[in-house]
């Protein structure tokens, strides 16, 4: 026997879109989204030059520098991002001088720790993409630069890196997508980003569905924008075999 209309309606989820579209809960979720985007932007800006330096270390003619670059990449990539977050928030501050520790706790130590962990973690992966892009440039280009009297760094800066950029950009965009999703892990150390605020809204209102639908759609929207940027770049600047 089919349930009557009232019974069917009672089984439907009690969805209230106004919870996340207006009011204090909306403000909390939007502030979390803004902080997540700030984490993404700051970490990307810091990770890219660090990744380039590490990639150059791994290609250095000096064995000691190559070993240092390799040790950095392997030690960072083989530890989960969650462990990095917990270490830089709980463990590392115990090693700082008291003046530095007081300054950190006076500032937003949660966000600072998250940026450090995300930067080190992301740069280790980006460095491998940059190194692959550099190695994709024909070796004769490097030899030509050295024949013109350039040193290793000058050859990389003026000859190799400009050519490697086109090959490197698509995987770097993919790493940016991973970075965006990785910002959600900052919630474990109390960073007031999107997932943290969604959990706060859920605890205060007992409306899990609305809070986490907002978070899911926000992550999905930004991820699709990043994916769209990667697709546009690949069509606009296709990588052709040399």
pLDDT tens readout for residues 216-240: 999 999 999 999 888 887 777 766 6
CA distance 160 to 156: 5
In the 8-state DSSP scheme, what is residue 13? -
CA atoms within 13 A on the CB side of 103: 6
Domain 26-236 is classified in which CATH homologous superfamily? MetI-like (1.10.3720.10)
CA dihedral 68, 70, 75, 80 (to 10 degrees): 140
Domain coordinates in residue numbering, the chain: 26-236
Question: Are the C-beta atoms of 36 and 193 separated by less than 8 Å?
Answer: yes
CA dihedral 63, 69, 75, 80 (to 10 degrees): -160
- Helix-helix angle 23-58:194-205, to 10 degrees: 150
Taking residue 124's Cβ as centre, other Cβ atoms within 10 Å add up to 22
Q: Is 36 helix (H, G, I), strand (E, B) or coil?
A: helix
Q: Is the pLDDT of residue 7 over 90?
A: no
Q: What is the pLDDT of residues 124-160, one digit of tens each?
A: 999 999 998 888 888 888 778 878 878 888 888 888 8
Sign of CA dihedral 184, 186, 187, 191: negative
């Amino acid at each position: 026997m089919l349930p009557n209309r009232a019974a069917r309606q009672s089984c439907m989820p009690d969805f209230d879109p106004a919870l996340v579209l207006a009011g204090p809960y909306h403000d909390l979720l939007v502030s979390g989204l803004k902080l997540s985007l700030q984490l993404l932007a700051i970490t990307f800006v810091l990770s890219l030059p660090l990744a380039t330096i590490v990639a150059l270390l791994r290609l250095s003619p000096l064995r000691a520098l190559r070993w240092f670059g390799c040790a950095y990449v392997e030690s960072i990539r083989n530890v989960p991002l969650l462990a990095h977050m917990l270490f830089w928030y709980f463990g590392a501050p115990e090693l700082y001088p008291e003046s530095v520790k007081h300054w950190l706790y006076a500032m937003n130590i949660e966000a600072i720790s998250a940026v450090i962990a995300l930067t080190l973690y992301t740069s280790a992966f980006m460095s491998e993409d940059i190194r692959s892009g550099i190695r994709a440039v024909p070796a004769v280009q490097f030899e030509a630069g050295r024949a013109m009297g350039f040193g290793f760094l000058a050859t990389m800066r003026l000859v190799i890196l400009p050519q490697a950029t086109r090959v490197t950009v698509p995987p770097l965009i993919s790493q940016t997508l991973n970075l965006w999703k990785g910002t959600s892990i900052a919630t474990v150390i109390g960073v007031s980003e999107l997932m943290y605020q969604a959990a706060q809204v859920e605890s205060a209102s007992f409306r899990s569905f609305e809070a986490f639908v907002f978070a899911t759609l926000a992550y999905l929207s930004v991820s699709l924008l990043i994916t769209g940027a990667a697709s546009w770049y690949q069509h606009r600047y296709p990588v052709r075999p040399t």
